Amino acid sequence: MSTQRLTWLLEQHLADSITEQERLELSDLIKDNDNEELFKQVLSEKMQTETPGVPVEAAPWQKMIQDIVNIDKAPATPAKRPARVFGIYRWAAAAAVLLLIGSGAYFYMVRNSKTGLIAIHKALPELPETPLQKNSLLLADGSRISLDEVSNGKIATLEGTTITKLDSQIIYTTTSNSTETYYNVLSTARSGQYEVVLPDGSHVWLNAASAIRFPASFTGKERSIELLGEAWFDVQHADKIPFVIHSGNMVTSVMGTAFDIKAYPGEQSMTVAVQRGIVKVQSGNRLLAMLVKGRQVKVMANASAVQSNIDTAIIAGWKKGNLYYKDEQLADIVADLQRVFNASIQINKASLKEEITTVSFNKNTGLAKALAIICRITDAKLTVNNGMYIIE
């Protein structure tokens, strides 16, 4: 299936001008998991050129998503919507579908038509597999708030929980006694950072290109969240209710402490560094480390773990723009710089990617100077081609 064909079919459906044969063709394409990446690409390209000038309201978006989910159940002669309504909502529908595909929920809905859209999102909205273009908050009802585009003050309410924005911080305040759990997802863009004050009073600072999934109010015997990327935690103490962070196969548990977790997908290792208190790190039921202040553990892909001392003054230095890399593979350092500076960097020499490097600088140094420092250390050459930094 070509990009052009899928684009045309989708446009015909959203414009209510699709034939019955084309409708069935689009239905088959959507239900085929092999087309998921192509579908995401088509919608992403469209959203870059057309943006709906309407408020983000979940109800009409959900209806249009359901229309596409039920595309093969629609009548042969589709009802025409007035042109004005179509003009308003045309790409709002596409945006909503893109949102669901990005969370992995759309194709799940297609295969399980008895499950409602709201129920899926209330249950567990997905962490983004790739960085988003903007700092955003995904709510339990499936609606997404672009945090850099809303003003300070109350931005949402959900079942007794109020969400307030204050500059680069969002604050959860709850009066709910409900036992039902509603999950939200906070995501940062490349070069972005954001702080969230969770309903128990714990603070989480997200580094660039990172995301956390957390409940709008904590219930049960533990405070459990999920992390993709890097974050610094200052956890409110609670003797009998541990705070548990899931990062891939690594599980970090605390009662109340301050520490940093770095767990970006695709990298050679994950690290936990403790600034205050005691932190337990596990892989499954296997204890990897019991860390105290000034200690860190690096967990490799094979679940082996190496502990070492670390200066507490440099833990989470990225919050102030201080970037520290000690005994890191150059490929992982470059991946981090791409996130921090929202830039494209390529290492052309295979042996350089695995070279172990120690380096530090402030973000204000700028990417070009930072890469020049790295190249001096590694005896490499730096060039720039069409905005791409090349190390060789």
Domain boundary among 95, 119, 143: 119
Do 296 and 197 belong to one domain?
yes
Do 16 and 86 belong to one domain?
yes
Q: Are 222 and 215 in contact (CB under 8 A)?
A: no
CA–CA separation, 151 and 166 (whole Å): 8
Do 259 and 330 belong to one domain?
no
Do 211 and 130 belong to one domain?
yes
Do 183 and 285 belong to one domain?
yes
Of 85, 88, 3, residue with least CA distance to 39: 3
First and final CA of the chain: distance in angstroms? 38
Do 147 and 210 belong to one domain?
yes
385: domain CATH number is: 3.55.50.30
Do 307 and 334 belong to one domain?
no
Q: How many domains does the chain have?
A: 3
pLDDT tens over the chain, length 392 residues? 566 777 777 666 655 566 777 777 777 776 666 666 676 666 655 544 443 333 334 444 444 445 555 554 444 444 444 333 333 334 444 444 444 444 444 443 443 333 333 333 345 677 776 777 889 999 887 888 999 999 999 998 877 788 999 999 999 998 766 667 788 999 999 999 999 999 999 999 999 999 999 988 888 889 999 999 999 999 999 888 999 999 988 999 998 899 999 999 888 889 999 999 999 999 988 999 999 999 999 998 888 999 999 999 999 999 999 999 988 899 999 999 999 999 999 999 888 999 999 999 999 999 999 999 999 999 999 999 988 999 99
Do 216 and 287 belong to one domain?
yes
Do 162 and 20 belong to one domain?
no
Q: Are 248 and 235 in contact (CB under 8 A)?
A: no
225: domain CATH number is: 2.60.120.1440
Residue 98: alpha-carbon gap to chain centroid? 14
Residue 144: alpha-carbon gap to chain centroid? 12
What angle do the packed helices 58-69 and 83-103 form, to 10 degrees? 80
CA–CA separation, 70 and 65 (whole Å): 9
The two structure tokens encoding residue 206:
């997200």
Taking only the tens place, the pLDDT of each residue in 55-114 is 334 444 444 445 555 554 444 444 444 333 333 334 444 444 444 444 444 443 443 333
CA–CA separation, 69 and 106 (whole Å): 8
Domain boundary among 251, 284, 314: 314
Of 254, 183, 193, residue with least CA distance to 218: 183
Do 83 and 166 belong to one domain?
no
Domain containing 249 equals: 125-314
Do 237 and 374 belong to one domain?
no
CA–CA separation, 188 and 133 (whole Å): 8
What is the phi-psi region of residue 188: left when phi exceeds 0, alpha when psi lies from -120 to 50, beta otherwise? Answer: beta
Domain boundary among 91, 119, 147: 119
What is the structure's pLDDT at 133?
83
Do 334 and 384 belong to one domain?
yes
